[in-house]
A and B are shown apart, each in its own frame.
Chain A
Amino acid sequence: GAVVSQHPSRVICKSGTSVKIECRSLDFQATTMFWYRQFPKQSLMLMATSNEGSKATYEQGVEKDKFLINHASLTLSTLTVTSAHPEDSSFYICSARDFGRVTYNSPLHFGNGTRLTVT
């Protein structure tokens, strides 16, 4: 089945540094990937829609200069948290739909998430 790989699974960084998270679709092409953020025991909040070869679309309230998204190929999207602060600590999850079977009822395939802790 379709697999989305997310790396790293955990990262601890110091305040003020930047962290890059990679999201790869391993056995399918994804023109669109989605980045979500999740706080403990809460649901997934959509941060942005990553479009291959074009600019990402950010949800209201998400700082595009802080959360840089690059979708350079059909199988890779990256999220860079710039100048991270403790309040950026969260669980970040990427997801993608199978490009070859994009229908309205095709499910999202999720990565296993990245636990970011900013000290």
Chain B
Amino acid sequence: TQLLEQSPQFLSIQEGENLTVYCNSSSVFSSLQWYRQEPGEGPVLLVTVVTGGEVKKLKRLTFQFGDARKDSSLHITAAQPGDTGLYLCAGGSNQAGTALIFGKGTTLSVSS
């Protein structure tokens, strides 16, 4: 069974600080996706990484896929209160019809 370990589980920081969320597995994933979820809503896709070593940037968010495609990180620079939410990493296989495996999530709270 493929598992994704996500850390930290909770993070409370001040506006302007930087943070990194980690997603690790002993298994290789064909792709890894990061989602952000607001309370009472479904997750919204932030990014998909598919190539080992890949780095993608989305404004103040930087996503990296490990060389061996077993781990990923999300780095937020100069966090803002609007970044508050639940961040989820999810790993995918190359088989159509298979579900994503989700990490346990990181609840981020950014206070002003």
Instruction: Name the contact of B42 in the complex, choosing from A97, A103, A111 (C-beta under 8 A).
Output: A111
A-B CB contacts (within 8 Å), total count: 71
Instruction: Name the contact of B103 in the complex, choosing from A43, A91, A107, A111 (C-beta under 8 A).
Output: A43
- Asked if residues B99 and A34 are in contact (CB atoms below 8 Å), the reply is yes
Interface 0/1 of B67-87, CB less than 8 Å to A: 000000000000000000010
Given contacts A42-B104, A42-B105, A107-B48, contact A31 B31 (CB under 8 A): no
Given contacts A42-B105, A112-B42, A113-B42, contact A105 B31 (CB under 8 A): yes
- Asked if residues B105 and A43 are in contact (CB atoms below 8 Å), the reply is yes
Closest chain-A Cβ to B50's Cβ sits at a distance in Å of 5
Interface residue count on the B side (C-beta < 8 Å): 31
- Asked if residues A102 and B88 are in contact (CB atoms below 8 Å), the reply is no
In chain A between 6 and 42, which residues have their CB closer than 8 angstroms to a CB of chain B? Answer: 6, 31-32, 34, 36, 41-42
- Asked if residues B41 and A112 are in contact (CB atoms below 8 Å), the reply is yes
Given contacts A105-B48, A108-B100, contact A44 B107 (CB under 8 A): no
Q: At the interface, yes or no: A77 with Cβ under 8 Å from chain B?
A: no
Q: Which residues of A contact B100 (CB under 8 A)?
A: 34, 108
Instruction: Name the contact of A44 in the complex, choosing from B31, B41, B102 (C-beta under 8 A).
Output: B102
Q: At the interface, yes or no: B95 with Cβ under 8 Å from chain A?
A: yes
Give complex CA distance A97, B31 in Å: 14
- Asked if residues A104 and B30 are in contact (CB atoms below 8 Å), the reply is yes
B residues at A contact (CB < 8 Å): 6, 30-31, 33, 35, 40-45, 48, 50, 86, 88, 90, 92-105, 107
A residues at B contact (CB < 8 Å): 4, 6, 31-32, 34, 36, 41-46, 49, 51, 91, 93, 95, 97, 102-105, 107-108, 110-113, 115
